[in-house]
């Protein structure tokens, strides 16, 4: 889903009756290839065979695509590229967005089984269990997009020697920020009537805190000479990098 998620996943799917002339598969590929260079006729035919798209057929038998079909394709390709989701889950999301699956589909649209979560993220069972032990992922029968993001990040930083136990500090900082937001919006949450003012305030405060957090981290990395851009004056060049992994202050 973080990047143009940050992408088509956040947009609604147009109704099949969207006004525009139907186009052939060549025009569909031309429209999508700038964003998805690997898309091909065989890929589109496969997605049709799996029931994710249903283009119309001309009397000649050629596929004809409406705007809605192209947007569905963009949605599917984005979910595969950015979130590595199984086709079953992508189809449930599409059904939920279009209303075909009802409330049940909407509730399960983002749900992954444990094995699907592992497959989608490239994690192993030991890593997921450790993330659950440290409270970064809630143990559940079905996992949502939050768990997907956390596990994918954990897999990525593990390449640098960062283990789930090192991420406890990130979780603790997040918990403190959540507590701060809750304190700020508590008076609004206690008011009778709509909860929308409290929800809106919580989103606003959380957004400012997240930006502040990111700015402070970037500023700290800049001071340490680790941010992008030209090195500060006096910074030595071609210094050998440390091996991947975390070291203690003693160097052990």
**Residue pLDDT, tens place only, 199-221:** 889 888 988 998 898 899 989 99
Mean of all residue pLDDT scores within the chain: 79
Question: In 3D, which of 115, 88, 93, 124 has the Cα closest to residue 106?
Answer: 93
Higher pLDDT, 83 or 66: 66
Is a pLDDT exceeding 60 seen at residue 176?
Answer: yes
Q: Is the pLDDT confidence value at 249 over 50?
A: no
What integer is the mean pLDDT of 17-33?
Answer: 80
pLDDT of residue 20: 54
Q: What is the mean pLDDT of residues 153-159?
A: 94
Residue whose structure tokens are 């984005």? 78
* pLDDT at residue 40, rounded to an integer: 93
What's the predicted TM-score (pTM) here?
0.54
Q: Does residue 80 have a pLDDT over 90?
A: no
Tokens at residue 207, please? 């957004």
As a whole number, mean pLDDT of residues 79-91 equals 83
Instruction: Tell me which of 120 and 107 has the higher pLDDT.
Output: 120
The proportion of the chain whose per-residue pLDDT surpasses 70, expressed as a percent, equals 77
Which has the closest alpha carbon to 203: 225, 184, 176, 190? 184
Considering 138-142, 226-230, 246-250, the range whose residues carry the highest mean pLDDT is: 138-142
The CA distance from 169 to 172, in Å, is 5
Residue in 115, 116, 90 with CA at minimum distance from that of residue 105: 90
Residue carrying structure tokens 């065979």: 49
**Cα 177-180-185 angle, rounded to 5 deg:** 130
């Amino acid at each position: 889903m973080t990047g143009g998620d940050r992408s088509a996943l956040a947009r609604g799917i147009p109704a099949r009756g969207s006004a525009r002339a139907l186009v052939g598969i060549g025009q569909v590929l031309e429209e999508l290839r700038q964003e998805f260079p690997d898309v091909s006729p065989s890929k589109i035919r496969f997605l049709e065979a799996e029931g994710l798209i249903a283009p119309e057929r001309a009397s000649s038998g050629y596929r004809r695509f409406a705007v809605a079909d192209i947007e569905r394709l963009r949605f599917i390709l984005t979910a595969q590229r950015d979130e590595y989701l199984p086709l079953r889950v992508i189809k449930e999301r599409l059904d939920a967005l279009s209303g075909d699956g009802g409330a049940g589909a909407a509730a399960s649209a983002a749900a992954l089984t444990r094995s699907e979560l592992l497959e989608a993220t490239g994690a192993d069972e030991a890593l997921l269990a450790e993330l659950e032990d440290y409270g970064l992922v809630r143990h559940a029968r079905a996992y949502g997009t939050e768990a997907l993001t956390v596990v994918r990040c954990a897999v990525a930083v593990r390449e640098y020697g960062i283990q789930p136990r090192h991420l406890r500090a990130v979780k603790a900082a997040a918990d403190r920020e959540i507590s701060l937001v809750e304190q700020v919006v508590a008076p609004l949450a206690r008011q009778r009537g709509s909860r929308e003012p409290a929800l809106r305030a919580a989103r606003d405060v959380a957004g400012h805190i997240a930006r502040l957090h990111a700015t402070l981290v970037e500023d700290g990395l800049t001071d340490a000479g680790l941010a992008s851009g030209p090195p500060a004056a006096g910074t030595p060049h071609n210094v050998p990098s440390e091996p991947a992994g975390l070291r203690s202050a003693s160097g052990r």
